[in-house]
Amino acid sequence: MEPILELQNVTKSFGGLRVTSDVSLSVAQGSISAIIGPNGAGKTTIFNQITGYLKPDSGKIFFCGQDITELNTRDIVTLGMARAFQVTSFFPEETVLDNVRVACLSQKNKTRNLLKGVDDFKDATDQAHKILSSIGLEKEADRPAFELAHGDQKLLDIGIALALQPKLLLLDEPTSGMSPDERLLTRNLVKKLWKEFNLTLIFIEHDMDTVFGIAQTVRVLQMGRLLAEGSPEEIRNNPEVITAYLGEEVL
């Protein structure tokens, strides 16, 4: 089967600093995979380029067989890609429901409507409630989003992305800043969502239990270079990866 996402020799520098260095990879449709690597390795920058937020200096990016290298974020999202952020990103003054509902309305192309009330869009509202149930925030639906605890805000960020009904979902450190308990819940949630919504899912993560617990494929970035790629088992036993990043404790 044709890969859903393909990067060919993608390279990007900030000033003199090479943040993405000749990265090529291909992601299978329906897979769940992780990107790991030390701080500053260039993980988020890869997401930024895939989503059109940054343009690569050279190289090509294909999504569902289409060259998206030159497309802007809006068009790429419309093709079926969504993203949640490392630094939680949502609409603080809107209710939790409206945070998700605005994404549902956008996905249905209803946001040009001036005269009907948001509440009149039953299907978008129902769908938003369904997503809130899936991520366990149904009880918080009517609260302004800024009142949520950090962990719940991370989930809301994921909920907004899910509401776009993406084919490919990118999560940037879904468990960061969470307590160990929350992390476990989120790990299971991410896996559940991947199945429930038939997603292809790529996540960046520092929590190794999450990485080795749910990823089918793990890719390791180091100083912008793709250091290794393989099953959790292969990565865990890769001597290069161990010295570069994992260190002793994983063994």
Partner 1 sequence: MKKSLFNKDIIFWGLFVVVFGSVPFLKQSDYHLMLANSILIWGMFAVAFNMLFGVTGMLSFGQALYYGLGAYSVGLVVKNYGPSLFLPAIGLGVVLAVITSILVGLLVIRLSGVYFTVLTLAFGQLAWQITFRWYHFTGGDDGIQGIMPSGVLENHTVYYYFTFVLVILAIWFLRRVANSPMGLVLRCIRQNPERVRFLGRRVRRNQLRIYVISSFFAALAGGLMTGVTNSIHPDMFYWTTSGEVILMAVLGGIGQFFGPFIGATVIIIIQDVVGARTEYWSLIIGLIMMVMVLGMPRGLVGEIRGLKARFAPGRMSRG
Ligand X SMILES: Nc1ncnc2c1ncn2[C@@H]1O[C@H](COP(=O)(O)OP(=O)(O)OP(=O)(O)O)[C@@H](O)[C@H]1O
The residue ranges that bind partner 1 (CB under 8 A) are 51, 73-74, 77-78, 82-83, 85, 89-95, 98, 101-103, 105-107, 110-119, 121, 142-144, 160-161, 164
CB count, 10 Å around CB of 137? 22
Our measurement of the distance from residue 40's CA atom to the centroid of its chain's CA atoms, rounded to an integer in Å, reads: 18
- Minimum CB distance to ligand X, residue 11 (Å): 13
For residue 55, the Cα-to-chain-centroid distance in whole angstroms is 18
Residue closer to ligand X (CB basis): 16 or 117: 16
Could you tell me the CA-to-CA distances from 240 to 205, 222, 231, 246 in Å, in that order? 19, 11, 15, 9
- Residue 136 CA to residue 159 CA, distance in Å, equals 10
Quote the least distance from Cβ 176 to partner 1, whole Å: 18
Q: Write down the least CB distance from residue 132 to partner 1, Å.
A: 15
Given the complex with partner 1, which of 16 and 116 has the nearer CB atom?
116
User: Between residues 41 and 96, which has the closer beta carbon with respect to ligand X?
Assistant: 41
Looking at beta carbons only, is 99 or 186 nearer to partner 1?
Answer: 99
**Is-contact 151 119, C-beta < 8 A?**
no
Q: How far is CA 79 from CA 31, 42, 48, 75, 167, in A?
A: 18, 25, 16, 6, 9
197 alpha carbon, distance to own chain's centre:
14
Q: Is 44 in the site for Mg ion (CB under 5 A)?
A: yes
Strands 168-172 and 81-84: parallel
Nearer to ligand X, 42 or 159 (CB): 42
Q: Which residue has the tokens 């044709």?
A: 2
Which of ligand X, partner 1, Mg ion, none interacts with 207 (beta carbon under 5 to 8 A by kind)?
none
Q: Confirm or reject binding of residue 216 to Mg ion (CB under 5 A).
A: no
Q: How far is the CB of 209 from ligand X (least distance, A)?
A: 17
Residue 89 touching Mg ion (CB under 5 A): no
d(C-alpha 6, C-alpha 190), whole Å: 23
If DSSP codes are grouped into helix, strand and coil, which group holds residue 206? coil
Chain residues binding ligand X by CB under 6 A are 14, 19, 37, 39-45, 86
Compute the least distance from the CB of residue 166 to ligand X, in Å. 21
- The smaller minimum CB distance to partner 1, of residues 24 and 111, is found at 111
CB 194, min distance to ligand X, A: 21
Contacting residues toward Mg ion, per CB under 5 A? 44, 86
